[in-house]
Structure 1
Amino acid sequence: MEKTRLGFIGAGGIAMRHLGVLRQFEDVALAAFADTDFGRAEAVAAEHGGKAYADHRALLDNEELDAVYICVPPFAHGEAERDVIARKLPFFVEKPIALDLATGEDIAAKVKEAGLITGVGYHWRYLDTVEEARNLLADNPAQLFSGYWLDQTPPPTWWWKKDMSGGQVVEQTTHIIDLTRFLFGDVTEVTGLASHKARPDFPDLDVPTASTASLRFANGTIGNLASTCLLRWGHRVGLHLFADGLAIELSDREIMVDTGHGRPVRGAHGDPVWHEDRDFIDAVRGGENRIRCSYEEALKTHRVALAIAQSAETGKPVSLTATKEA
């Protein structure tokens, strides 16, 4: 069997999550790894095979690849994607796709021009519980929702800085934003609020420590998102939604469907990351393209996250109707 040769740009925690899946695929060869921390690239190469590089361009110049995974922090997006596109290679990139809108739009345009296969790591789309919720809403659309990312502050210090992570809404709550888009469709307007509390144990943290947003969708659905990094534990990450005679609570582990006869809960089955990686590899290998989130689709989610951040800064609602089909 001819194997699909993969290169990895970025060898941190999220890369390891994908590698744990991809190493199970008999039709995949893990060929090369690049990281600005060369020691980390060497360690990953030693564990999974392949060659280590300190620079992604050296990796791209020296390896014969079929596709690339880009698993870098928010502030590092841009150069890697453009260099991969210049070599006409399909790529899978982790969210958020950029810090700003201009970078995302530029890359999306280049992807479209090159006609490349892309995937983005909004893995909630692959949960069987989300598929169940989608089916339940097909003939009974949600009218109201509340989304949550109520959690602790992640340890990487880049996450603490707005000019490196984009803040919690852009870096974390984006998963819930994407979930609402997957379930409800296009967002037409957002209004955001944010606050900041200084904490001695997180020096120089300048991202909002609490934020909320109201969203309106083209189909009439309305709702809100709440985010905080003030906790010392993971309290709640998920989405509650309400339709006619129907209440659903979703997390990345379970679903609760309430129709007025109790609150039955069932756990999610399967690994959504396995499914998103499998779909990407199958598409790269020439099979049916079942990828649920392309770069173009992820850009629409990123646009909403940035609009929420903009509204929180300016104190004014942001309309997305002019750009939702861009």
Structure 2
Amino acid sequence: MSRLRVGVVGTGFIAGRHLAALTASPDVAVVAVADPVRERAEAAAARCGARAHGDGLALLDTEELDAVWLCVPPFAHGPLEAAAVARGLPFFVEKPLALDLATAEAVAVEVARTGLPTAVGYHWRHLGVVQRAAETVPAGEVQLVTGSWLDRTPAAPWWVQRGGSGGQVVEQTTHVLDLARLLAGEVDLVSAAERPAGADGEVPTAAVALLHFASGAVGSVSSTRVLGWRHAVGLQVVTEGRVVELSERSLTDHSLRVVTADGEEVSRSDEDPVAAEDRAFVDVLLGRSAGVRVPYAEALRTHALACAADRAAREGTSVRPAS
């Protein structure tokens, strides 16, 4: 069996999930790991029998790879993707695509020009419960969408700086916005408001976005980071006589609830969507599958929506997401 030689840039929580999934795959060899904290790179590399690098660009410059996984904070995107494209190296990239829209748009242009295989970590799309929800809710029938990301503040020091994470809407709530696009279609106009940041950083403590969908549906998505626990992460979609609700309690604990006048049906899932999205991309790269669910161009539409919601809140105006 041919083994795919891959590198992984980043060793944080989500990078660790990717490393575990890739290392467990018999047709993948993780040969290199990079992190600016050298000790973390060495520890992660030791666990999977790989070489350690203190810099992602150094990894890309020196390693012979078939693909690379870019699992870095929002502020680190751009140069890594550009280096991968320059080397003709397929890449998986974690969301969000960048701090801003312009950086992601520039990468998208080069990906489209080269036709390079890519995948992006909007992992909910790989869940069976999400696929069933999409089959249950034809986009043209949606009337109302309500979503939320009500949670604690992540511990990473860069996260509370807008120049580090891009803010909660861009860094976290983008998952909910991606679900909204999947189930209700594209958004034509966004209005938003935010509560100013507290003493711990620059990221607002709460925000809400009002969405006007091209289909005529309307919606709202709320975010807050002031809790000590994950309270509610998910989306509700209302059609004539039906409510479809998706929720996430943890990375491997999701549920689908469909409610009608006749009662409700609840489906729970303990699937690992990170392992599923990794497997899907590996299969594409090995020629076993034709395409991925979230290539870079598709993820850019969600990123554009998240950036529009963030801009609308900051400027107190309405914004049309870039198409």
**TM-score, scaled to structure 2:** 0.95
Corresponding residue for 2:225?
A: 229
Deviation of the 1:10 alpha carbon: 1.2
CA shift in 2, pair 1:146/1:3, >3 Å? same
Corresponding residue for 1:279?
A: 280
Corresponding residue for 2:289?
A: 288
Write out aligned runs for 1:75-114 (5 A).
Answer: 75-114=75-114
**Is the contact between residue 140 and residue 184 of structure 2 (CA under 8 Å) also seen in structure 1?**
no
Corresponding residue for 2:314?
A: 313
Deviation of the 1:140 alpha carbon: 6.7
**Is the contact between residue 169 and residue 306 of structure 2 (CA under 8 Å) also seen in structure 1?**
yes
Distance 1:304 1:258 in 2: 28
> After the TM superposition, which parts of structure 1 deviate over 6 Å for at least 4 consecutive aligned residues?
none
SS of residue matched to 2:230 = coil
Corresponding residue for 2:8?
A: 8
Deviations 1:179-214, CA, capped at 9 Å, x for gaps? 111112211100010012525xxx3x1111010011
Distance 1:273 1:290 in 2: 17
Corresponding residue for 2:251?
A: none
**Structure 1 unaligned runs (5+)?**
none
CA shift in 2, pair 1:140/1:315, >3 Å? closer
Distance 1:126 1:2 in 2: 25
Corresponding residue for 1:216?
A: 212
SS of residue matched to 1:263 = strand
Distance 1:277 1:139 in 2: 27
SS of residue matched to 2:226 = strand
**Is the contact between residue 152 and residue 230 of structure 2 (CA under 8 Å) also seen in structure 1?**
yes
Distance 1:132 1:61 in 2: 42
Distance 2:269 2:175 in 1: 17
Deviations 1:101-151, CA, capped at 9 Å, x for gaps? 110010000111111000000001111111111111138722101100000
| Structure 1 letter corresponding to 2:282 | I
Distance 1:58 1:158 in 2: 23
**Is the contact between residue 129 and residue 269 of structure 2 (CA under 8 Å) also seen in structure 1?**
yes
Distance 2:157 2:83 in 1: 27
Deviation of the 1:38 alpha carbon: 0.8
Corresponding residue for 1:70?
A: 70
Deviation of the 1:222 alpha carbon: 1.0
CA shift in 2, pair 1:140/1:295, >3 Å? closer
Corresponding residue for 1:299?
A: 300
Distance 1:139 1:48 in 2: 43
**CA-atom RMSD in angstroms:** 1.3
Write out aligned runs for 1:1-326 (5 A).
Answer: 1-138=1-138, 141-196=141-196, 198-199=198-199, 203=200, 205-252=201-248, 253-320=254-321, 323-324=322-323
Deviations 1:260-309, CA, capped at 9 Å, x for gaps? 12333220252221221111001111222331111111111111111111
Deviation of the 1:14 alpha carbon: 1.0
Count, aligned residues: 318
Deviation of the 1:87 alpha carbon: 0.4
**Is the contact between residue 140 and residue 244 of structure 1 (CA under 8 Å) also seen in structure 2?**
no
Deviations 1:73-105, CA, capped at 9 Å, x for gaps? 001111111111110000000000101111001
CA shift in 2, pair 1:197/1:7, >3 Å? closer
Deviation of the 1:219 alpha carbon: 1.5
**Structure 2 unaligned runs (5+)?**
249-253
Distance 1:58 1:137 in 2: 46
**Is the contact between residue 128 and residue 269 of structure 1 (CA under 8 Å) also seen in structure 2?**
no
